[in-house]
Homo-oligomer: A and B are copies of this chain.
Amino acid sequence: MPPSNFQLAGWTTRNHPSVMERMLRGLSDPQMISFALGLPAPELLPAKEFAVCLDRVLQKNAVSLQYQPPLRSLKSHIVRLMKTRGVETSEDNVFLTSGAQQGANLLVHLLLNVRGDVILEEKTYTGFQQILKPFDPRIFVIPSLPNTGFDLEALSDLLASGVRPTFFYTVADGHNPLSLNLDLVKRQSLIRLARAYKFPIIEDDPYGFLNYDEMPLPPLLALDSEFVLYVGTFSKILAPTLRTGWVIVPEELMRQLGSLKEAADINTATLNQFLINEFFETQDFTSHLLNLKTEYARRRNSLSEALIEKFQSFARWQNPANGLFTWLEFPEWVDTEKLLEHALAYQKVAFIPGHLFNVSESRAGSNCVRLNFTHARTETIFDGVGKIASAIEEIGFR
């Protein structure tokens, strides 16, 4: 790339092309089997129901194509939806956003100063890391523990040593990328720390409604509505294209969020708000979600069967209780970045190497991969795992 004719903001000089970016370019190959992205199953996207709902909305609501204030009845559906998770909230605390990504982005802009202090765990959703880049924050990294999530003791020690984070970010259900749920004690302890040290928790919850077998635990928001700023989305339970999500926050933050939203994109697409509202009012959302969970649980199990077949004594994984991913750990000597390069070129299969989620420069997790199980059908899942196994043998890791 030639240099620009004029000066760009300082952060851009530190924003180099990532391995992830280079890699994702390969995914447009139609022959590629991809476990890389967090995509819903295309067959389960409610295209027909959407067509019916859109038709009806376009016939009766002229304002559905205009700029409009957020649709109060959609907020009511969100309030009821949150109730199924044990959250008591009100329309006055629900703020509509263009998906969870924007929700998290607006919250960061609400809270963080440039070069502010942040505590993150080592393995953090890369889209959240992207939000932070222009702020050039001072990041204190605590370890991600393989089976239980962020290292509570490390967090507690940092706080005791005087670090005062602007916020703590976490995915309590279906952690991305580790695909685990925080246990109740950890949830409660985190909230105790937040209250004691007066920092807010950003609870990013794209996967909370996609629980497969365990009795689900309450989200952090159900345990504390003063220090937990909750981010939800319809992307994974209805469709990504809706670009509609929500944030639940104390009412005193709504006005400042409104300023940020207006500056970001004025308002959340009105037609999509009407569409989702119509879906809730005329379709059976509960069955739709149940269908989704049943099929995703099946695919998760298929992935597990395929992994047993190919990697039983070679790799380790746990079936996740929530979300879209399985976290797979190979022996220490498997360099999954090299494996990926080989797999893309010779086996046409994609996944994301574990260390690419690291906040620090550490290579921790470079023997792990994150595998999506919701996008591909069972046969393809088996094929794909077979290809990964072949790549491992071809490259001599086994």
A positions within 8 Å CB-CB of B: 1-10, 12, 15, 17, 21, 28, 37, 39-40, 42-43, 45, 47-48, 50-51, 54-55, 58-59, 62-67, 69, 98-99, 101-102, 105, 109-114, 116, 127, 130-131, 133-134, 166, 198-200, 226-227, 239-243, 250-253, 255-256, 258-260, 262-272
Closest beta carbon of chain B to A256's beta carbon, Å:
5
Copies in the complex: 2
Give the chain B neighbours of A8 by CB distance below 8 A. Answer: 110-111, 253, 256
With known contacts A39-B66, A66-B240, A127-B262, A9–B226 Cβ distance under 8 A: no
Nearest B residue to A3 by beta-carbon distance? B252
Inter-chain CA distance A134–B239, complex, in Å, is: 32
A to B CB contacts below 8 Å, 17 in the list: A1-B251, A2-B252, A5-B226, A6-B200, A8-B256, A9-B166, A15-B259, A42-B62, A47-B65, A50-B58, A51-B55, A65-B239, A66-B239, A240-B270, A241-B269, A243-B265, A243-B268
A243 touches B98 (CB 8 A): yes
Contact of A111 among B9, B67, B250 (CB under 8 A): B9
B50 touches A101 (CB 8 A): no
A62 touches B45 (CB 8 A): yes
B127 touches A266 (CB 8 A): yes
Inter-chain CA distance A309–B57, complex, in Å, is: 40
Give the chain B neighbours of A266 by CB distance below 8 A. Answer: 99, 101, 127, 240, 243
With A65-B241, A133-B263 already in contact, 8 other A-B pairs whose C-beta atoms are closer than 8 Å = A5-B226, A8-B110, A21-B255, A45-B66, A54-B58, A130-B263, A243-B269, A265-B265
